[in-house]
Amino acid sequence: MRGQVYVFGVLLLGCLAPRPGRSQVAPGATGSSNRYWVAFCDKAPLGPRAARCLSPAALARRRAQGLPLLEATDLPVRPAYVAAVRAHVDTLTVVSRWLNGAACRATPAQAAALRQLPGVAEVRAWPLAQRLLPARYKAGSDKVNQGRETKTSPTASWPGPAVSAAAASAASPAAAASRAAFVSPADYLLARQQTAALGRAELRRAGLAGKGVRVAVFDVGFRGLDRHPAFAGLFREGRVAGTYDFLKNRPDVFLGGAHGTEVMGCLAGRLPGPDSLRPGPALGLAPAATYLLARTEGLASERFSEEEAWLRAAEWADQQGADIISSSLAYTEQRYFPEQMDGRHSLVGRAATLAARKGMLVVSAAGNDGDDDWVRIGTPADADSVLAVGGLDPATGLHVSFSSVGPSADRRLKPDLSAFGIVLTTTAGGGYERVEGTSFAAPLVAGLAACARQAAGRALPAMQLYRQLREAGELFPYYDYAHGYGRPGAGRLLARQRGPVPTPEPTFDFVTHDSLVAVVLRPAATLPPARPLPLLADDDELSVEAASWLRPTEEAARPPGSPTPTRASVAPVGQEQAAPADAAPALPPYPSYPARLYWHLASARGVLRRYEVRAATQRLVLQLPRRLARGGDVLRVYYQGYTGTYSE
């Protein structure tokens, strides 16, 4: 794990998911109710029953990675401490074994009384308790009626009309098949390229699909996922190992929001196959993984209780033996300032860091604020041990405008990697839809991580897997604050797991003259590279007859590789809607993105002063004043697999 691990207090009510409770108000308590955090002094010593707090899968993960099977942060909070707090407050909202504390709502008088209780180390004011509207919320864009969200646009996929279980179960297979038919050829090509761009072919040849790996998915809800044909095999084979709604404290996560259904499509969803026994091509890279589904986010509002729910879900995922956490949520200007995006100020950032310490790889969406005033990444993507994933335009292979950029507040590289930010995925109604947002880039990379975990075995430490994924980026060791290390590739990742990789041949030279330094491409690097055969050569491609559900459409006539039009303001992470129906990416035949030259100027600490991507239309691509590469500053350039540096 890079940097310093920050650990704050610790606790949990029991070995299972904690349930917040209510108690009677202490006599004499007056005043308005506020939110407080109560930190405890200690825990009970390790005993023979302590191991029961973790499942066999959790113990196996720790044993394989050489981690302590039990430590203080794993032990439950002393029940006497929790009972004493419960008796003195209005509401106990969360109890955390990791942080050895509890969040509660209490009056100032009750808070003063809590400070006098045995075992209480500190009582401090907790962030705002009232409901806050989402960032860039527009009045009338989402209507909330008795807890149910309704769409104002027929193309929006979230939030959608709530569907009762009874009504959904009454839907006929014919109706589901009809809904599934609405996939255009352009969207089908997008579905194939969103996984091909990360090395689907290499994973298929290696027989890797995430089998045996446990992936926990934290999201708004998974409405319709249990009835969607794309996940029939997941449920038939019993690979949904656990579900829990940490806002309503119940196991059912298949009501409420549908954003999680869209995210799961980018992990384990499938397109329709020839018949019910032969599934179609996968929309993600981990269709064989086992999943834990947690609802941690509410609908149409952002509350601090959702960060508490994320903490509880992370502790639950640890107990259930999760190997990877995929989180398509981000918290930004609703409760934080830009200078707090360092992974240490937010509760969810600290929880993610502790999850990584427990041996789980945490993959998080970078955020959708790249084209608004906030611009930068959100939390928990800002934490130093979290793999933050930005978005790429599938048509150009470059940063898509809505994807949040780095660095973190303490000037660390963020995002770490990038994947397609416009994808085809599953919807709550049983069909498929094109959506946009970094919420969908993150699960694509999480699926690749699951395959890497399967290939390396459970003995590979989570932070070593984190480093391998970053080093598998197509730009590594070059980086910038828009792309991170670029798209991770399965071929590069598997090669690094097998051993040292050969040093690439130089593709350019630094040429100095007078006061300038120039970057000049070598002649061999200007020749067109060899291209693979078209996608139809893939062994999992459907025949024309098997893909009869494709819907012929008249696509917008834009040249291949043209930037994809996106919404003027993409919704925050966790609340993305369908992409504009008339703005399908004008995809080139993969992977024929033109060769581009990336360059940046970095300080001695690696903090970027400037970065840019240039089209390589001639051998002389870049000229800069030599004085810019003095005083410890470094000019770093990437072109076609080779990274060179220049400094004076």
Closest alpha carbon to 41 in 85, 6, 88, 4? 85
Q: Report CA-CA distances (Å) from 472 to 49, 198, 417, 482, 528.
A: 42, 10, 9, 17, 23
User: What is the C-alpha separation between 21 and 94, in angstroms, rounded?
Assistant: 9
Helix and strand numbers, DSSP H then E, in the chain: 14, 23
The stretches in the chain having pLDDT less than 50 are 1-30, 128-181, 535-536, 544-545
Instruction: State residue 171's pLDDT score.
Output: 39
Residue type, 352: A
Instruction: State residue 616's pLDDT score.
Output: 92
Q: Pairing relation of β-strands 608-615 and 620-625?
A: unpaired
Six-digit token string for 551: 């819907």
User: What is the C-alpha separation between 337 and 353, in angstroms, rounded?
Assistant: 20
User: Over 8-59, what HEC string results?
Assistant: CCCCCCCCCCCCCEECCCCCCCCCCCEEEEEEECCCCCCCCCHHHHCCHHHH
Cα Rg, the chain, nearest whole Å:
25
Report the catalytic residues.
219, 259, 439
Question: Tens digits of per-residue pLDDT, 35-65?
Answer: 899 999 998 776 666 667 788 989 999 999 9
Q: Pairing relation of β-strands 608-615 and 143-145?
A: unpaired
Question: Tens digits of per-residue pLDDT, 211-261?
Answer: 999 999 999 999 999 999 999 999 999 999 999 999 999 999 998 889 999
Instruction: State residue 301's pLDDT score.
Output: 55
Helix or strand run (H / E) with residue 468: helix 462-471
